[in-house]
Structures are given as C-alpha cells and as structure tokens.
Amino acid sequence: DSGVTQTPKHLITATGQRVTLRCSPRSGDLSVYWYQQSLDQGLQFLIQYYNGEERAKGNILERFSAQQFPDLHSELNLSSLELGDSALYFCASSVDPGSHTYEQYFGPGTRLTVT
C-alpha cells in the first residue's frame, strides 16, 4: 500500500459525459501528479500540482482539468468524454519535487470506461 488513495476504483460512463476522479496523497506529500495509462499510449504524464498550484503540464487535453485543494487532495475533471478517453488514471504524490529524490508514490488507479 503506497498511502495514496484514489476513488472511484472503476467508472463507467457514456460519451459526452463529465466525471471527476479524486486523489488523496500520502500524508505529508505536497505534490500530486496525474497520469493516464492506455493500451496504445502507455503511461503519460498529464499534470502536476504542488501545494495547491499548478507546477507542470504534460499533454493534457483542454477537456481535462485538475485542481489541488487546501487539504492537498486533488481532483481530475474529464469532460465531453470520448471513447478514446477510456484508460487507467493514476495519481501519484511526492514530498517535494525539489527535494533530493523525485520518488513518486502511485495510487491504485481509477479505471474509466467510456461507452
């Protein structure tokens, strides 16, 4: 158990809908990262937040957005869903990206299926 929690574990929804994925980082970790893992693209970095502020962005679609709240939990919002958005979405956390290690602890993931 990494200490990172994600809800829900599974999500099935229809095209055009909007969903919110939730992540609670390890206790004490200030950074949260979101990744998408699909069969054809592998594990792709989406976005990073540090202590409530956006720190880095990957190839995140405009239909996707995220935020980190004062209690450090994070939410990833996916809207106007398409079939191709079906994937595993992982959240990871780390203490501080500027510390001596970049070790990120991954949650168990949310499996999103868009039908």
**Residues lying near another protein in the complex (CB under 8 A):** 2, 4, 31, 33, 39-45, 48, 50, 55-56, 58, 84, 90, 92, 94, 97-98, 101-109
Strand 110-114 and strand 10-13: the pairing is parallel
CB of 19 closer than 8 Å to CB of 75: no
Least separation in angstroms between CB 81 and another protein: 17
Among 29, 25, 24, 13, smallest CA distance to 78 is for 13
Least separation in angstroms between CB 107 and another protein: 5
Least separation in angstroms between CB 61 and another protein: 16
